[in-house]
Amino acid sequence: MSLAKAVIIILQPLTLTGWPARVPTLKTHSQLLRCVHPVVRVFSRAHKAVRNDRYKYIHYVDLAQADELYDLQEDPYELKNRISDAAYAETLVQMKALLNERLKETGAQPI
Contact 74, 87 (CB under 8 A): no
As a whole number of angstroms, the distance between CA 67 and CA 103 comes to: 17
What pLDDT does residue 40 have?
44
Q: What is the pLDDT of residues 35-78, one digit of tens each?
A: 544 444 445 568 899 999 999 999 998 888 999 999 999 999 99
Q: Map out the domains of the chain as residue ranges.
A: 3-36, 47-105
Q: Are strands 47-51 and 55-60 parallel, antiparallel or unpaired?
A: antiparallel
Count CB neighbours of 67 within 10 A.
20
